[in-house]
């Protein structure tokens, strides 16, 4: 199979992002008084959205819509945009046409997307007196209500050709006055919980007399500003029902709830999963040899329209280099190849299980679990392409299949499994250990039962069963099987380090150097594989989300702002491996990290806020603490916080070497929540 070059790999995301930036810059170039307006509205809208306790998908829709909400102003006359003074009725009507213009401009890019409606309705009012449709109350999508407020607030604080910016107290008054008429009261409450909203309230308290004067100011009706775009709003007015709260126990039960035999029986009785979909099973059979009849394969695939759409979309992504658009299924099958079609078909069947709760009892965030699987598939495929030890298609299938047992346990055991996963995350315990203690079988054993029911070949079955096997035991497997499982283990840990989705397992497993050697991977190859990760993930999510209700691609799912971004941290420890999962996690958290062989050398480079000591042996950590303590006594440095990563067996002795109040200790196995909590506490104190 031909691997697409990097420039083709990035084209979908780059073209889309650049088109957004170009349109936004073109609009703001026409109106110098609104320079930076779209960026400010986007930042404020996203913060309001997080405070509304909506899903990450909806937050992402708000973000994209806010970036684009004023694109239609490119069709508004500059003389009207920059007019000093009030607008005439004709001029105001002309400005309001930017919603329709924006919809026409964006339709080729966002055709069928809910974000397109958001752009169109961003000037609606809560009382029904807005434009263009006069929607009222919760009939206005929640995203439109959010951006409408953010847009108006930014217009209030901005200097306009016909008035100065409104004072903080005046903005507070206008927002409060508009609550229930122009703005949704719930959105108003969420706005005042943002950093900027809180600052406005504080400024009003400190300047009560000034607020009385500012209250006389009135923002012109025509300058409600870019009102904001609406993300998808469900039938319940944008409120996402939350599952009942699950109590996380302090300890597992004395005995597991079920026996392995009982669990196997439950799996076979779960109608939705005990057999592969017929079309998928037939595709696996037809693609088992290289001499299969392509016409028979095409006819089988045509029986599943959703699968056809996904295959056609995949054939036109950067995964498969083509000089022109693929428009027929036959051509798509040739481009992707039998191995690729087999993996896609199986992936579609499995992904469907992650997207919904078949049993109706699950408490897991299934979309987050689904994203983890896709990320593992993408990472495994990219790493395999770099190492060239196993086929990328086989690696991709192994990656997306490996945690299937988690979705099955969630369906089967509902609240019991929610307690199990909650315990694993809260206590930093490996998920498989918690599953055995609570349920009686772990998700790898469940996958074993399921793979037997599906009659899966070993290259599909073994990664599901063995990806939690110890590295040393993998050497007992046949070489090819061991390599596939090793690759999945690396992709699994790397996906956690990158914090893409969640599989309820908090552990960052250390990866031995021998595994990298066997897979022919080094640091440069791993970084090369990661270069296109976001673009590849974008492509694959776009394929698998086709026809999925209520989900958007990864571009529409921004992560919450990182509390630790930009904080300086010095690593002192053993020589770097091709991939250190802990270091990669800290990079994901946007820590400003650097490494040195000793404390003194590190401080000669830059003074950190936190020193992170990596090492499994206590003597090495003790030596570093003594050096840091000596520097502090010499007056060379002040009190610096320390985070120790390893297995220090002499905590009392460590406390005597460095102030305990300045020291955090995280013992192996390292968990993502544990590392985050310790770092947050150290930086905060």
- The CATH number of the domain holding residue 579 is 3.40.50.2300
- pLDDT at residue number 216: 42
In whole angstroms, give the CA distance from residue 587 to residue 185. 39
In whole angstroms, give the CA distance from residue 455 to residue 282. 12
In whole angstroms, give the CA distance from residue 38 to residue 368. 29
In whole angstroms, give the CA distance from residue 230 to residue 681. 37
532/657 same-domain check: no
Task: Report CA-CA distances (Å) from 66 to 53, 209, 230.
Answer: 18, 35, 8
Place of tokens 């299938």: 397
Assigned domain for 255 exists: no
Mean pLDDT in each 10-residue stretch from start to end of the chain (685 residues)? 41 53 60 67 88 82 83 73 68 78 74 79 89 89 91 80 69 91 93 87 69 41 36 30 58 89 80 66 73 78 74 73 70 80 75 54 70 89 92 85 87 86 90 94 88 78 90 87 93 93 88 94 93 80 56 44 75 82 89 84 85 78 82 73 73 65 81 86 76
322/454 same-domain check: yes
Last residue of a domain, one of 525, 556, 587: 556
505/596 same-domain check: no
Strands 610-614 and 568-572: parallel
In whole angstroms, give the CA distance from residue 258 to residue 251. 17
538/600 same-domain check: no
Closest CA to 238 of 191, 189, 192, 187: 187
Assigned domain for 562 exists: no
371/451 same-domain check: yes
Q: Which secondary-structure segment (H or E) carries 106? A: helix 98-110
- pLDDT at residue number 652: 54
Q: CB neighbours of 158 closer than 8 A, spacing ≥ 6? A: 33, 34, 37, 165
In whole angstroms, give the CA distance from residue 560 to residue 60. 10
Cβ-contact 62, 45 below 8 angstroms? yes
Assigned domain for 248 exists: no
302/340 same-domain check: yes
Burial class (CB in 10 A: 0-12, 13-18, 19+), 639: exposed
Assigned domain for 253 exists: no
- pLDDT at residue number 528: 93
206/87 same-domain check: yes
Q: CB neighbours of 633 closer than 8 A, spacing ≥ 6? A: none
Give the orientation angle of helix 37-51 with respect to helix 195-206, to 10 degrees. 90
Closest CA to 223 of 115, 78, 83, 79: 83
- pLDDT at residue number 343: 73
394/451 same-domain check: yes
Assigned domain for 420 exists: yes
Residue 635 Rama label (left phi>0; alpha psi -120 to 50; beta): left
Tokens of 649: 């067996």
Closest CA to 156 of 167, 141, 146, 148: 167
Q: CB neighbours of 576 closer than 8 A, spacing ≥ 6? A: 523, 583, 595
Q: How far is CA 186 from the centre of its chain?
A: 26
Closest CA to 601 of 577, 644, 631: 631
Last residue of a domain, one of 556, 585, 606: 556
Could you list the residue range(s) of the whole structural domain that residue 450 is in? 260-556
Q: Which secondary-structure segment (H or E) carries 40? A: helix 37-51
579/523 same-domain check: no
In whole angstroms, give the CA distance from residue 440 to residue 241. 31
Assigned domain for 327 exists: yes
Map 604-656 to HEC letters.
Answer: HHCCCCEEEEECCCHHHHHHHHHHHHHHHHHCCCCCCEEEEEECCCCHHHHHH
Indicate the number of domains in the chain.
3
Strands 592-596 and 610-614: unpaired
In terms of C-beta distances under 8 Å and separation of at least 24 residues, what long-range contacts does 537-542 make, across chains too?
537/374, 537/375, 537/378, 537/500, 538/12, 538/13, 539/12, 539/314, 539/317, 539/318, 539/319, 540/314, 540/317, 540/319, 540/374, 540/377, 540/378, 541/371, 541/374, 542/12, 542/313, 542/317
Assigned domain for 447 exists: yes
449/535 same-domain check: yes
- pLDDT at residue number 99: 80
- The separation between the first and the last C-alpha atoms of the chain, rounded to the nearest angstrom, is 54
Task: Report CA-CA distances (Å) from 433 to 252, 283, 368, 442, 680.
Answer: 10, 36, 21, 7, 27
193/133 same-domain check: yes
- The CATH number of the domain holding residue 34 is 1.10.3210.10
Last residue of a domain, one of 172, 203, 223: 223
Cβ-contact 454, 479 below 8 angstroms? no
424/362 same-domain check: yes
Radius of gyration of the chain (CA): 28
Assigned domain for 457 exists: yes
- pLDDT at residue number 3: 39
- pLDDT at residue number 622: 81
């Amino acid at each position: 199979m031909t691997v697409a070059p990097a420039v083709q790999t990035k084209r979908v995301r780059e073209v889309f992002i650049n088109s957004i930036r170009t349109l936004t810059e073109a609009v703001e170039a026409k109106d110098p008084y609104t320079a930076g307006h779209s960026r400010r509205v986007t930042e404020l809208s996203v913060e309001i959205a997080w405070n509304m306790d909506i899903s990450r998908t909806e937050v992402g829709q708000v973000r994209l819509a806010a970036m684009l909400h004023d694109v239609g102003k490119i069709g508004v006359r500059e003389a009207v945009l920059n007019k000093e003074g009030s607008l005439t009725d004709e001029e105001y009507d002309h400005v309001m046409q930017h919603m329709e213009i924006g919809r026409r401009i964006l339709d080729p890019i966002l055709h069928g997307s809910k974000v397109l409606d958001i752009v169109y309705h961003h000037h609606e009012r809560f009382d029904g007196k807005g434009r263009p449709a006069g929607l009222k109350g919760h009939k206005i999508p929640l995203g439109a209500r959010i951006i409408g407020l953010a847009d108006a607030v930014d217009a209030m604080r901005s200097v306009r050709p016909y008035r100065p910016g409104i004072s903080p107290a005046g903005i507070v008054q206008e927002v409060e006055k508009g609550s229930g008429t122009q703005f949704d009261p719930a959105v108003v409450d969420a706005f005042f919980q943002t950093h900027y909203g809180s600052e406005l309230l504080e400024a009003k308290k400190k300047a009560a007399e000034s607020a009385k004067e500012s209250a006389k100011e009135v923002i012109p009706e025509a300058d409600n500003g870019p009102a904001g775009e609406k993300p998808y709003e469900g039938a319940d007015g944008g409120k996402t029902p939350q599952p009942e709260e699950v109590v996380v126990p302090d300890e597992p039960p004395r005995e597991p709830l079920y026996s392995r035999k009982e669990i196997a029986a439950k799996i076979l009785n779960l109608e939705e999963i005990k057999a592969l979909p017929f079309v998928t099973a037939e595709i696996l059979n037809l693609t088992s040899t290289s001499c299969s009849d392509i016409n028979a394969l095409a006819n089988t695939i045509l029986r599943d329209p959703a699968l056809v759409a996904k295959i056609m979309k995949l054939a036109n992504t950067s995964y498969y280099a083509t000089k022109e658009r693929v428009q027929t299924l036959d051509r798509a099958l040739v481009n992707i190849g039998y191995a690729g079609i087999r993996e896609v078909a199986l992936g579609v069947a499995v992904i469907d299980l992650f997207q919904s709760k078949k049993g109706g009892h699950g408490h897991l965030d299934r979309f987050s679990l689904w994203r983890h699987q896709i990320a593992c598939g993408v990472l495994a495929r990219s790493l395999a392409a770099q190492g060239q030890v196993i086929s990328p298609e086989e690696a991709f299938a192994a990656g997306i299949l490996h945690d299937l047992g988690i979705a099955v346990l969630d369906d089967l055991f509902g609240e019991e499994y929610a307690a199990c996963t909650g315990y694993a995350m809260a206590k930093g315990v490996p998920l498989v250990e918690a599953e055995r203690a609570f349920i009686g079988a772990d998700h790898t054993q469940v996958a074993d039962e399921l793979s037997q029911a599906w009659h899966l070949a070993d290259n599909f079955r073994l990664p599901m069963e063995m990806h939690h096997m110890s590295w040393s035991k993998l050497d007992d497997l046949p070489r090819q099987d061991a390599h596939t499982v090793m690759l999945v283990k690396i992709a699994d840990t790397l996906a956690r380090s990158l914090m893409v989705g969640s599989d309820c397992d908090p552990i960052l497993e250390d990866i031995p150097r021998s595994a990298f050697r066997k897979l022919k991977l080094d640091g440069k190859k791993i970084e090369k594989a990661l270069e296109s990760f976001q673009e590849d993930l974008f492509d694959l999510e776009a394929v698998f989300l086709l026809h999925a209700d209520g989900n958007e691609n990864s571009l529409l799912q921004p992560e919450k702002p990182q509390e630790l971004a930009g904080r300086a941290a010095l690593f002192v420890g053993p020589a770097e491996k091709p991939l250190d999962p802990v270091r990669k996690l800290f990079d994901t958290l946007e820590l400003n990290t650097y490494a040195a062989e000793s404390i003194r050398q590190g401080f000669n480079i830059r003074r950190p806020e936190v020193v992170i000591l990596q090492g499994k042996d206590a003597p090495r950590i003790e030596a570093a603490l003594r050096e840091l303590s000596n520097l502090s006594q010499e007056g060379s440095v002040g009190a610096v916080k320390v985070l120790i990563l390893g297995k220090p067996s002499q905590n009392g002795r460590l406390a005597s070497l460095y102030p305990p109040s300045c020291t955090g200790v995280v013992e192996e196995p390292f968990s993502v929540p544990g590392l985050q909590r310790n770092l947050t506490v150290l930086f905060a104190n």
